[in-house]
Amino acid sequence: MSIYYSKVDGWLIGVIIGSVLFCIVLGIFIYNQSRIGSYICFGSGLFTGGLFLLFAFPCKYTLTEDRVIIQSGFLRQEALYSQITGVKKSNNPLSAPALSLQRVKITMTNGFKLVSPKNREQFIEELKSKLPITP
């Protein structure tokens, strides 16, 4: 069993932390003008930060005997190797359990999944080695 953690793009974390801090700082500045507005800003910032932590950490990909397990926060997805039809590099920006745009597209019989392991090349090689050989 191999575990690969998600690569993290600094700009993405910066945008998320920046938006949370913006709400909190805005709440501080408007506190004297509108306490209710200030509380709304604080609450929005804390709620957004909490949701991000809840859905994003830990973000990891586990290669087991018969499947890849994709975990992002408390969400968990699985893909059986027998259902995987292709694996290739991708920069697809679609929403995915990935904290980077340097991604791996796992094509399956019923769609695809996007992941962003730190060591993309090694992940692709190991995943391909676990796939059943098709004629």
Residue range 63-74, pLDDT digits in tens:
999 999 999 999
For residue 19, name the pLDDT band (cuts at 50, 70, 90).
Answer: very high
Give the model confidence (pLDDT) of 88-121 as tens digits: 999 999 989 889 999 999 999 999 999 999 999 9
Report pTM: 0.85
For residue 134, name the pLDDT band (cuts at 50, 70, 90).
Answer: low
Comparing C-alpha atoms, which of 124, 133, 1, 134 is closest to residue 67?
A: 1
Helix then strand then coil, % of the chain, to nearest 5: 40, 30, 25
